[in-house]
Structure 1
Amino acid sequence: MIKCSVAGVVATAVFLGLADILARFFAPSASPLVALGNTIVELSPPALQEFAISTFGSSNKLVLFISMAIGGALAAALLGVLAGWRPKVAGVVFSAIGLIFVGLVLRRPDTGWVDVVPTVVGVGLGLAALTALVTTARPHATSFCENEPLPAASRRAFLGLASAGTAVAAVSLTLGRSVQTFVQDAAMAVDRLVLPSPAVRAALIPQSASIGVPGVAPFITGNSEFFRIDTALIVPELNPEEWTLRIHGLVESEVLIDMSELLALPLEEHHITLACVSNPVGGDLLGTATWLGYPVRELLARAGPLPEADMVLSRSSDGFTASTPLEALTDARDSLLAVGMNGEPLPTQHGFPARLVVPGLYGYVSATKWVVELEVTRFDLETAYWTDRGWDERAPVLVSSRIDVPQALETLPAGDVVIAGSAWAQHVGIEAVEVQVDGGDWEPAELASEVSIDTWRQWRYVFSNAEPGRHWVTVRARTADGEVQTGERQDPIPNAATGRHRIDFGVE
């Protein structure tokens, strides 16, 4: 059975690999692998999605693809065994699987009938590979795989076919991304885009904004280190020369703006901290960047929202939607249609060529990447991707804090122990941070300078004369309007995890 199992795995890999590379010339979701992955994500229970994000963070998509590969290999091996026993039945099953993938491709919002071509071609070639491999693996048409030893010539033929099929699949899957880049030229488009100088520059970040403790996350998060949580299994690659943003719905007049017009506007630069609603207590799914963009309130003013409107439904090029309170996009906060991040055009994985950045709200209701549409509407008329899955529809950021130093379970020398980290309550601001050691009284921590109420704030506390033994420390923050971070533990669903970060460490 081993040879037939191998035949099934290789044939399935040929199907998926060739279909994937052909899909690069069609819609982004034309790949059966991408269509399957997106379907798994969409149909997964919210609790499972939350577990994946909280556990694996920005690596959640990699874990999904690895899981798909393992599950797919097992299913393909069983298909190969079936082919060795009942070749015609296996052919029907293989074709039926192909039809299922056709359906998965067609259910994507960016695909049409022409986009099933890669899947159909891949199924045909995969079925041909399965037939050739199984025929070679069976010494007689009536025998089952490996019931009889293969002649030397047949064994060499099988190994040659299996090796060739594996090579074709591997090369196709590897080159698929390169072909997409060649076809869509996205990487070069990022390099070609020249950002104008901002009309309003971000405030200078004083040295006192850093608490000066090694190990504390830097105030500005680099583009490559910035967390990425979204629903896109394959990063959309848009041509800025073809990009447009449509503003419509409950408005006085529809607005359409392209990239050249957007870049000609007086852009503003602001430091803003973004946080993921799935960030666990003490987690790292947040970061601060210097964003360049145009105020969303000014764009909406062009359209003129009607009095009854209370929400803006933003849409990504891949169909993702987010429901943002209209007030958060029209008040005095620095909500941006961003085109730049830390002095560079937006990286593709962070929304190139344009995305939304809204201080004070979790990203699932506000930080739409690859944004192409703003529909002014009402909460009682429309829902969005995550609110359909049970998450809160307004999602204000909750006050929170984190210990970066020392590390959990770290052992330190006796004497003074420096404890430090960050706290955040975007669009409200942090007024104080307090630390509790070994269950004692809450003691005030030293705060770094506040750059903006829309950014996190670093803090430090010195645990003086720490004696040898095990110790534990807890942190809590207080906002500028007096709200104290709760100690009550709550899961992220429906509006962020709550509780206070605690770590244990040793002194010797």
Structure 2
Amino acid sequence: MTDRRPLLFTLAGIVATLVYFGAAEFIAGAFSATSAPLLILGQTIIPLVPTAMIKAAISIFGTNDKLALVITLVIVGAILGGVIGRVGLHRRTLSFVLLIGLGILPVVLLVSTGGSLLDAVPALGGVVLGCAAYVGLIRLGDGRELRAEDSQDRDRSADIDGQPDSDRRAFFGLVAGLSAVGIAAIAAGQSASILARNAAGAVTKLVLPRPATSAPKIPAGAELDIDGLAPIMTPTDDFYRIDTALIPPSVDASSWSLRIHGMVDEEVTITMAQLLELPLEEHRVSLTCVSNEVGGDLVGNATWLGYPVRDLLKRAQPNDEADMVLSTSDDGFTASTPLEVLTDDRASLLAVGMNGEPLPRDHGFPARLVVPGLYGFVSATKWVTELEVTRFADKEAYWTKRGWSTHGPVLVASRVDVPRAGVHVSPNKDGQIITAGMAWAQHVGIAEVRVRIDNGDWHTAELSEELTTDTWRQWRCHFDDVEPGTHTVTVRAVDKDGNEQIAERRPAIPGSATGLHERDFTVD
């Protein structure tokens, strides 16, 4: 008879791990989202992940990169649980020690970073239930195998009462049931955390004052009204989110403050109440993530309400030797922004509002930085709490330490939205094929967009009316007499300084991805 005990012990370890994660996440969802083991492990792992892997994850999963990390942690944990379970075949005590050690690892990490023992409740609850599942399964599985072996030794491979077959079904049924419960509990815990986060965000919303300076009305010519073309203003719910936080920090606006210090003549601290009393300004600014692939959607345009950073820095009076401002988030993330960019005439804001509402928690509530012309990794710090005036030679930011560039200026870029990739299109009533998309060159502005089909001549596209040089623009271009069959449309933009979009393909690290966006489509 084949010895199935190694398989049974391995399955018991896997199921115990799923039960552990499920119970702990479920308890954390109702208890404290920040004490969830998956969150603790994820937040510990993110700073250690090689930059190339982070870039690959964002490229593959986009804004779902954090969900992908959670799923990966569960899979890796289940594999480790299976290995530990297999150890129990011959060293039962060691397997228990390893399972308990795996379970309390998040507790150790939490306490070592200042967490309280009370926050250990979810993980400890998960350990108890996970170990109970492991004990139950190995007793049932091991007992079934021993009875089956004894039955075979007595030449009775199938007991009269069918006990071995019955136990086998019971074991695998329990494995399936506990696994399903564990996975469902993980999903429920994650959902509960999201609901709690959203509820907290709703409760802590600010009442924003009317802007002292409002953004101009959006002209009708800013929208080209083409199906499939991204809107000129990105709805808040659709605005991309890329940051290093598995769960956005929950910051109390009433106790929030911003400290400006470092190489300054006078240290400044401003509270939310003081900030809201200042003459706030409203500006439309596009933001772009440096991880955005050519033609990607990690870019958006919003109306931001805030106070000019240059006026805050003016209060602190930076020293002449300083050339950088290191901004720090409530969760410890840092970004290095050139001092000159924060003190020139551009609309660099300490923002508290987005699209007419207080900042959502996902986008930096209660305050964040918005800096036109720079990629977010060197400027758009969410949940910002500190501005340290310093020098690039003296300090490094989160991504700079990982090989990214220090200044991060936005490069001129464009993409094709219409037609969608791989679709079949028909000429309009005038016999034309319509192409359309977006182009951006923040703080410089788009001067021209050129479009071609296949390797034909470049055509100058029609541009929508510009909101400001800090926002993207829509474009469209018509082509006559396009033959039926498969074709490729390519776009290239030129900014107002005469810089053409770089045609050479290169990855985002260390500064940004470059290349011309192409779309294949078929004309019927």
Q: TM-score, normalised by structure 2?
A: 0.88
State whether structure 2 residue 106 is matched by structure 1 residue 101. yes
Cα deviation, 1:312-355, whole Å, max 9, x if unaligned, reads 11111111111111111111111111111111111111111111
AA paired with 1:248?
H
How far off its partner does 1:88 sit? 0.7
Q: Which moved more, 1:243-252 or 1:198-207?
A: 243-252
Contact 1:448 1:459 in 2 (8 A): yes
- The partner residue of 2:412 within 366, 388, 399 is 399
Could you tell me how far apart the structure 2 residues matched to 1:363 and 1:8 are?
43
Aligned residue runs from structure 1 range 56-95, under 5 A: 56-95=61-100
Q: What is the match of residue 326 of structure 1?
A: 339
Instruction: Tell me whether 1:353 sits opposite 2:366 in the alignment.
Output: yes
Partners of 2:227 and 2:214 in 1: CA distance:
29
Distance in 1, matches of 2:370 and 2:310, equals 12
* TM-superposed deviation, 1:386: 0.8
Kindly report which structure 2 residues correspond to 1:80-159, keeping only aligned pairs within 5 A, or say none. Answer: 80-98=85-103, 100-106=105-111, 108=113, 111=115, 115-116=119-120, 118-139=122-143
Deviations 1:279-300 (A, max 9, x none): 1111111010111111111222
Counterpart position of 1:467: 483
Cα contact 1:21–1:179 (8 A) shared by 2: no
How far has the Cα of 1:408 moved from its partner? Answer: 2.1
**2:378 pairs with 1:365:** yes
CA contact (8 A) 1:139 1:150 kept: no
**1:450 corresponds to which residue?**
466
Counterpart contact for 2:21–2:74, Cα < 8 Å: no
Which residue does the alignment assign to 1:250? 263
Aligned to 1:429: 445
Displacement of 1:383 in angstroms is 0.7
1:217 and 1:293 map into 2 onto residues whose CA distance is: 25
Taking a change above 3 Å as real, the CA distance of residues 25 and 380 of structure 1, as seen in their structure-2 partners, is farther
Deviations 1:119-144 (A, max 9, x none): 4454344334423443344328xx77
The one-letter code sitting in structure 2 at the alignment partner of 1:204 is K
- SS of residue paired to 2:238: coil
Distance 1:157 1:216 in 2: 55
1:364/1:386 contact within 8 Å kept: yes
Cα 1:320–1:64 change in 2 (3 A) is same
Please state how far the C-alpha of 1:467 moved relative to its aligned partner.
1.9
- Residue 307, structure 1, aligned to residue 307, structure 2: no
Alpha-carbon separation, structure 2, partners of 1:105 and 1:507: 58
Counterpart in the other structure of 2:507:
491
Asked if the contact 1:137/1:150 (under 8 Å) is kept, the reply is no
Inter-CA distance 26–295: structure 2 relative to 1 (3 Å threshold): farther
Structure 1 185/222 Cα, relative in aligned 2: closer, same or farther at 3 Å? Answer: closer
Deviations 1:388-408 (A, max 9, x none): 111001000000111111122
8 Å contact from structure 1 (residues 84, 138) kept in 2: no
The residue that corresponds to 1:40 in the other structure is: 45
**SS state of the match for residue 466, structure 1?**
coil
The structure-2 alpha-carbon separation of the partners of 1:145 and 1:268, relative to structure 1 and needing over 3 Å to count, comes to: farther
Query: Cα deviations across residues 456-476 of structure 1 (Å, max 9, x unaligned)?
Result: 011111111212233222211
Mapped partners of 1:466, 1:217: distance in 2 = 25
Query: 2: distance between equivalents of 1:146 and 1:70?
Result: 32
Indicate if the aligned counterparts of 2:18 and 2:74 stay in contact, CA closer than 8 A: no
2:74 maps to amino acid: A
User: Is 1:217 matched up with 2:213?
Assistant: no
- Paired residue secondary structure (2:481): strand
Q: How many Å apart are 1:182 and its aligned residue?
A: 5.5
Counterpart for residue 15 of structure 2 = 10
Change (3 A) 1:146 1:259: farther
Q: Which moved more, 1:74-83 or 1:88-97?
A: 74-83
Radius of gyration: which is bigger? Answer: 2
Say if 1:485 and 1:175 are closer, same or farther in 2 by CA, change over 3 A: closer
Paired with 1:165 and 1:434, the residues of 2 have a C-alpha distance of 55
SS at match of 1:224: helix
Structure 2, unaligned runs of 5 or more: 151-162
TM-score normalised per structure 1: 0.90
Q: Secondary structure at the match of 1:476?
A: strand
Question: 3-state DSSP class of the match of 1:478?
Answer: strand
SS at match of 2:143: coil
Contact 1:431 1:478 in 2 (8 A): yes
| Percent of aligned pairs sharing the same letter | 50
- The 3 A distance-change label for structure 1 pair 408 and 257 is same
Residues 139 and 154, structure 1, Cα contact 8 Å, conserved in 2: no
2:422 equivalent to 1:409: yes
**C-alpha contact (below 8 Å) 2:301/2:471 kept by paired residues:** yes
Please tell me whether residue 235 in structure 1 is matched to residue 251 in structure 2: no
May I ask how many residue pairs the two structures share in their alignment? 504
* Amino acid in structure 2 at the alignment position of 1:286: V
Matched, 1:336 2:349: yes
Q: CA RMSD in A?
A: 2.9
Q: Secondary structure at 1:497's aligned position in 2?
A: coil
Using the TM superposition, name which of 28-37 and 18-27 deviates more: 18-27
The alpha-carbon distance between structure 1 residues 26 and 258, as it changes in their structure 2 partners (threshold 3 A), is farther
